[in-house]
């Protein structure tokens, strides 16, 4: 799955309020709930699954990117949310730098290959400096959605 396939404009938070990775996860899961992508009754179990994964090793992969993710039986298809922080979030990233772009995604339990492929596709896309900068400079969620929806060059 690609970023544009799992993150719609209604799943984008152009100004994250979070100052740490735990609050960022809460904020992005809340966005998935408020947009109807995730049932509110599953919110706590989803947050627990993502935070459990995050506690095993930070998904702050460097270059200002965080990709918290988890497999859960609370969903039927891959879903994601993207948040942007202009001030940066302490994500305990591998390069010890603050994170400006957070992509949270969820995969149905038992779809390990889809989980790995989705993670690899998102990481590869976000490692492109020009792509990251275009998202960081976009004025709003709709503009971010247009950027992530463009075919890769």
Q: Is the dihedral of CA 17, 19, 22, 25 positive or negative?
A: positive
Looking at the annotation, which residues are catalytic? Answer: 69
pTM: 0.94
Domain segments of the chain: what residues? Answer: 3-149
Across the 153 residues of the chain, what is the mean pLDDT of every consecutive 10-residue run?
91 96 97 95 95 93 95 94 96 93 96 91 93 95 92 55
pLDDT at 32: 97
Which two tokens mark 87? 């001030």
pLDDT tens for each residue of 46-68: 999 999 999 999 899 999 999 99
pLDDT at 55: 94
Output Rg (C-alpha) for the chain, integer angstroms: 14
Q: Assess if CATH 3.30.450.260 describes domain 3-149.
A: no
């Amino acid at each position: 799955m690609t970023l544009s396939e799992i993150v719609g404009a209604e799943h984008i938070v152009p100004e994250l309020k979070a100052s740490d990775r735990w609050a960022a996860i809460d904020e992005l899961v809340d966005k998935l709930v408020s947009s109807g992508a995730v049932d509110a009754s599953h919110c706590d179990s989803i947050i627990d699954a993502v935070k459990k994964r995050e506690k095993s090793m930070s998904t702050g992969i460097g270059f200002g990117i965080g990709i918290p993710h988890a497999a859960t039986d609370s969903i039927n298809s891959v879903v994601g949310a993207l948040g942007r922080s202009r001030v940066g979030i302490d994500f305990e990233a591998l390069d010890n730098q603050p994170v400006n772009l957070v992509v949270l995604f969820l995969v149905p339990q038992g779809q390990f290959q889809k989980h790995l492929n989705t993670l690899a596709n998102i990481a590869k896309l976000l490692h492109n400096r020009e792509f990251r900068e275009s998202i960081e400079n976009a004025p709003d969620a709709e503009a971010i959605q247009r950027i992530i929806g463009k075919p890769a060059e």
